[in-house]
Amino acid sequence: MQSRTSAARLGRPRSAAAATAILAATREALVEVGWSRLTLGDVATRAGVAKTTLYRRWSGKNELVVDAVAELFDELELPDSGSLAADIEGVVLQFAAILARPEAKSGLMAVVAESTRDEALRERIRGSIVDRQKRLVLQGRSRAQKRGELPPESDPEEAARTADLIFDVVAGAVVHRTLVSAEPADEEWVRSFTRVLLLGLTRAS
């Protein structure tokens, strides 16, 4: 007879595979039917799982869409291009490309709108998307400090506040450009934005 431990180990890959299939099906539904017509039953059918499997992980559509969009942003990587300016340009172009995808655009806009009336949803967006991607700021700043492009921080609390501010500036500008103004965040715009950002960073340093 198989032990409970062995059974649990065998169960984890199936659980992970189901979650991956559900999140992929959610993004597929966002593209095909949009947020307003997306249902958990449709997602379960697309993913080939029982509704109970889906409901064990997500209590509703909003939480499911947040996690499906968050998985897209996890694809972001900070390139090591040899300079802070080039690194920023590289990651901002990636960010803009993700926001241009229909599933990211419709999903993010919908859950942000819903979160204005739902504090728990705001917390989920913050934890699943915002806080996870702040790693890029920390990586970029550390790399720039090692190159001598930015000085090291002496106050950890001030360094954390600055990292939050940098993330807010970058994310806010790109989201506004692509989703609110509906203008392209192309290479020319990204270069101009990076120059303005670096001017502020170097003066602050």
Model pLDDT, residue 199: 86
Residues 177/185, Cβ–Cβ less than 8 Å: yes
Model pLDDT, residue 70: 96
Query: CA torsion, points 43, 48, 52, 56, in degrees to nearest 10?
Result: -70
Q: For 184-195, what is the mean pLDDT?
A: 95
Model pLDDT, residue 203: 58
Same fold, 4-58 and 69-204: no
pLDDT, averaged across the chain: 89
Q: What is the pLDDT of residues 8-65, one digit of tens each?
A: 333 444 688 999 999 999 999 999 999 999 999 999 999 999 999 999 999 899 999 9
**CA–CA separation, 144 and 146 (whole Å):** 5
Q: What tokens were used for 61?
A: 């559509």
User: CATH code for 4-58?
Assistant: 1.10.10.60
Domain ranges of the chain: 4-58, 69-204
User: First-to-last CA distance in the chain?
Assistant: 64
Which has more pLDDT, 156 or 9?
156
Q: How far is CA 138 from the centre of its chain?
A: 15
Question: In this structure, which topology does domain 69-204 adopt according to CATH?
Answer: Tetracycline Repressor; domain 2 (1.10.357)
Q: How confident is the model at residue 4 (pLDDT cuts 50, 70, 90)?
A: very low
CA angle at 129 for the pair 82 and 41, rounded to the nearest 5°? 135
DSSP state of 60: S
